[in-house]
A and B are shown apart, each in its own frame.
Chain A
Amino acid sequence: MPVVTELNVNGVRHSLNADGARPLLGVLRDDLGLTGTKFGCGEGQCGACTVHVDGVPIRSCLTPAGAIGPRRVTTIEGLEKDGRLHPLQQAFLDAGAMQCAYCTSGMIMSAVVLLAKNPDPTDEDIVRFMDGNICRCGVYPRILDAVKRAAKAMGGARA
């Protein structure tokens, strides 16, 4: 695969020199220092490596960096704006929706897409959408709560 020389991540064009066959995850973490995105399984099963490419959630552990091209990549580091947390990040804090928090970036990145598609999800909607994200500490009920809090804060949820 050709060498990747440029990636658009979190609104910044990064110059780099990476083998295009390398997974996007490794390039984000090792070359760009964006370590908020995590390695969990390397086979797309756990969701810890979830990032957005043009707003679509992808498993960066399975996606070759060479496949990204000029598309916009967003990572957990790109959610915070001017020191203000994204409503989902704030909701995870408010709901205490983490233990070791290693899954948290992937959870938040998946939930951001869920709420963009469905601003007022039911519990079933959340469970179905988030079922590809594993939290081994078992914080699922709190994460469910956090997503609902964020939906409300973002104005999507019915009163």
Chain B
Amino acid sequence: MSEPHPSSSPEIYPEQYELRGPAHAKPPRFRRRAFLKLLGAGVVVLCVNRRAAAKAESGAGGPRLAGGTPRPATLDAWLQVAPDGTVTFFTGKTEMGQNIRTSLTQAVAEELPAPIGSIRAVMADTDLTPYDAGTFGSRSTPDMGLQLRRAAATAREALIDLAAARWSVDRGSLTAADGRVIHPPSRRSVGFGELAAGGKLVRTISSGTALKPATQWRIAGLSVPKVDGRQFVSGRHRYASDMALPGMLFGSVLRPPAYGATLESLDVSRAEAMPGVKVVRDGEFVGAVAPSSFEAARAVAAIGATWKTRAQPSEDRLLRDLRGGGNPPESGLFLEADGGLTLKRSYTMAYIAHVPLEPRAAVAVWRDGKLTVWTGSQRPFGIRDEELTEAFGLGPERLRVIVPDTGSGYGGKHTGRAAVEAARLARAADRPVKVVWTRQEEFTWAYFRPAGVIDVASRVRADGKLASWDFHNYNSGSAGIAPPYAVPDPQTQFHSADSPLPQGSYRSLAAAANHFARESHVDELAGALKLDPLEFRLRNMTNPRLRAVAEAGARAFAWGGAKAAGHGSGMAVGLDKGGHVATFAEVAVDASSGRVGAVRVVQAFECGAVVNPDHLRLQLEGAVVQGLGGALFEAVHFENGRILNPHLSAYRVPRFSDAPAIEIVLVDRRDLPSAGAGETGIVGIAPALGNAICDATGVRLRSLPMVPDGLRRAS
């Protein structure tokens, strides 16, 4: 089952986690055939291209995986100008808090150029926007940003041509600025809206379109505030879970008591006797609709169901299962005669949950044989072309998926199960239906960040240079697996495993796990050599961009400075998806209680030309806080097919009191293309915290979460 990682292509992620996991965790009627096809196609991905790989990450199966859908080349599919000068652009990307609506608006404003306030974005509507594989992989800025820049530049040239014809002047004498075309010699100018006059700008977008270099940006590169921020602070924005339609009912779904349970008998008489309730049964799917969500849930609770359960793997044998039943390899630090040393260690990581604060939700309505669903998702087209197509046997022209700006995803909202459920109930009830998952459903019937085991063996010479590197990741994935250090012939391998829980994408995929193992390991090597951890890393690092963030972060952190009693400092560096990160953390460990707190974090980051510095900082701050949860205390516990802590009272996420003081240091490289930044900011925090704990206490922690119950001193 092992596949070698193509170390020559570090940006390719041969992972396809969506809906992977035990068959019982999949929604009813999920076809095994499609699942196998998807796994088979994953092999192809290795030698295809980045776009196909991005699809594979999200598990987009079916025919698209082979060739992909070409993007329309016609300008008006991407950008239109209204008579009043309003510019509307269209993108299949979804806004989930990463503020891509704002930064794509900046990209369009820059190339036209036009004022930010004159630009509207239509996002993530399968009837209105061009096909898009999904919002993941930190691709929105480098890929969609580029596409929209080209569209806007093409529109600008078309508008200049219209003005040249209108005034019978040489187009070379015209410029565009602030939503107008200007003829400086005659001091004439005309607005984009008047030029376009409501007609389509008929042009073809080409990849050769000249774009403004980042060094000349005037709107991109600025900290433009969230474009529709006022809608959110006023409570006016309608998330999918806030949508309401006339005559809408509320739906709730009967869930099995455990993974793999099958329905034996059903008694719906009590539920159906409740006023306004309709019970819907469709194969294994059982749900109810009612005039309120409370009544729908009460009706489902009144359904008498007996289930046949079967034994399921439990957490206590997880690590052995992930290694395919094998025993852990040798562990230890081995000194060698020539002054070099060998270190063999294993690292583990628990399943964790995304916990998007807006649970999965959907509103579905059938009109004249066409289904329209509003849902919070990262993959509107994937839901249309896979899950809804499969459930209802309809073509794309009879399915529409709309994603209102969503209450976060973090890689957790690639699937559309709530959309299918709402649509099924709406069809049976012949009314619009809303389904909002409970937190318990969210914790149980979605999917998790994969658990993993990582075995690392390395050798380092007496001069502090890495001599060998052998790195095996079981189950969590291969993203970010290649070491950013100069080491001859590094061996890195990802071994897939049979996961006992449904698992899928999570912010940065396996890069967080792989960075935890690698940067913890490297830190231990530095300690064994009695070298400063920063010095040791720099000695083995050739990538100048990574060196630059390591040095910038160390300066801001005052690395090597004095520490208070019980405090420790740790660092980690990382490189993934075009982002370069160095994370420095200071922790405080309370000796009597064992409480570990993150005191302050400095994170230096470089991802090429920065489109919106403030929103980039916000992404990085958020990644640090979110990553801190998985590092210190988050873990999904399970036993025999049941999640044991499917509540926020039992699954701890970071709160105000957990958040350290955070300083972000941006290295803005206007000479380099913009990479994405939503994910890589999360990879450094867990190892930096672990290394800081070791610095403070001498205790090396190699399992995530590291201190769910505080630090228990090794006795």
Contacts and interface: CB of A to CB of B under 8 A. Distances in A.
Nearest to A137: B622
A103 interface: yes
A119 to B, nearest CB: 19
Contacts of A142: 618, 621
A54 B596 CA distance: 39
Contacts of B99: 99
B654 interface: yes
Interface string B604-647: 00000000001100110111111000000000000000000001
A138 B244 contact: no
Interface string A8-21: 00000000001101
Contacts of A60: none
Contact of A102 (B292, B293, B357, B654): B357
B97 A93 contact: no
Contacts of B229: 92-93, 96, 98, 101
B626 A98 contact: no
Interface stretch (B40-48, B108-116, B656-664): B656-664
A106 B133 CA distance: 33
Contacts of A96: 225-226, 229, 614-615, 618
Contacts of B98: 99
B392 interface: no
B656 A127 contact: yes
A101 B237 contact: yes
A139 B407 CA distance: 14
A131 B239 CA distance: 24
Interface residues of B, number: 58
Contacts of B574: none
Of A22, A34, A135, which is in contact with the most chain B CB atoms at under 10 Å from its CB? A135
Interface in B399-448: 405-408, 410, 436, 438-439
B166 interface: no
A26 B233 contact: no
A112 interface: no
Contacts of B230: 85, 93
A141 to B, nearest CB: 6
A45 interface: yes
A73 interface: no
A21 B292 CA distance: 12
Contact of A89 (B233, B244, B647, B656): B233
B648 A41 contact: yes
- Interchain residue pairs A-B with the least CB separation, the first 10: A36-B235, A138-B625, A100-B97, A102-B407, A99-B97, A76-B235, A35-B242, A101-B232, A45-B648, A138-B622
Given A38-B407, A41-B648, 15 more contacts: A30-B250, A35-B242, A38-B239, A39-B436, A40-B439, A40-B648, A89-B233, A90-B233, A92-B229, A98-B229, A102-B97, A102-B357, A131-B656, A131-B657, A136-B653
10 contacts: A40-B439, A42-B438, A45-B649, A92-B229, A100-B97, A100-B358, A136-B355, A138-B621, A138-B622, A138-B659
